[in-house]
Amino acid sequence: MPPKPGAPLSNTLLIPHTPSTRRLLSRLTKDLLLELVLGSWLDATKTQTYQPNFAPVEDEDDEDEDDEEEEGGGEGERGIEKAREAYEAMKRRAVKGKEVVERVVEREWRDGLNLLQIAELDYSYLLSHPTTHKWTASTLHPLNRPTPHAPPPTPRFHAPTFTHTLTSTLRPLVTTHTFSTRHPTLPLHLLRLQLHPHPPTAPLSLPPAKRIFWLAFPTAAPGPSVGVKLEGAHVFAGVRSLVEAGVVFDGVKMPGWMTGEGGVSFGMVRDGVLVKRRK
């Protein structure tokens, strides 16, 4: 189904294979590409997203594979199982990355790669080659002028809101596809923006590099001051509830005694150091 005029492009829209899409595949190492294929693209719960094609290949020269397909191994769960076995075998054998790329292009994704796969390939390359991009640092300022002598408020980044506002602003000019994720090791939220002509061409093609942008926003920026008052005997249970609700605290960084783990119900902190706790 073609995208609605001006609407952001869906993750599942296909881009037929071209030298540009093959380049995206081949610039990853064998291990990184197999990690994507086995970790996400051939996940049995994500076939509607990544759309692998398990139908028999017309010009199949390998007689053993023809026999397997005649036994009913070409569709559904059996197709995923056979494909995973093939890629797992490549992982164990000393094959070159080129063979993995050829398998992707000629077998399971011979119809093309969708926009989500394109973004994930680009993201994987960004993580493995962090110095290949030039980044420009900017500062966000609130539109409302702060009161005199008051410290300027620190803007908080909310990815869905920012993405929606950005794509809505660009809608009259271009058609967009966005990919948003958190950096695995740095306190950054990454947003990939891919710009297509408006309206997009059919079939969809990969735009040039100058129309693909990465934006990075710090996730550890200081936020507004929030006061919390906890009353009653179950203070730490209340803290844990706030953590689980994601209201104030970061449960990953918070020590276990503050979230009530191990039955702790009382703790005393002096000068930033826990000096007493009891159940």
Token digits of residue 273: 């150091």
Q: Decide if 178 is inside a domain.
A: yes
**Per-residue pLDDT, 278:** 61
Q: Which structural domain, as residue segments, surrounds residue 64? A: 17-111
Domain count within the chain: 3
> 253: which residues sit within 8 A by CB, 6+ positions away?
none
Helix (H) or strand (E) holding 20: helix 19-26
Say yes or no: 126 and 213 in one domain: yes
Q: Decide if 145 is inside a domain.
A: no
Instruction: Give 152's pLDDT tier (boundaries 50, 70, 90).
Output: low
8 A C-beta contact, residue 22 and residue 105:
yes
Instruction: Catalogue the E-assigned strands of the chain.
Output: 14-15, 113-114, 175-182, 188-196, 212-218, 266-270, 273-278
Token digits of residue 110: 């011979």
pTM of the model: 0.71
**Per-residue pLDDT, 162:** 86
* pLDDT tens digits, 13-44: 999 999 999 999 999 999 999 999 999 999 99
Say yes or no: 181 and 212 in one domain: yes
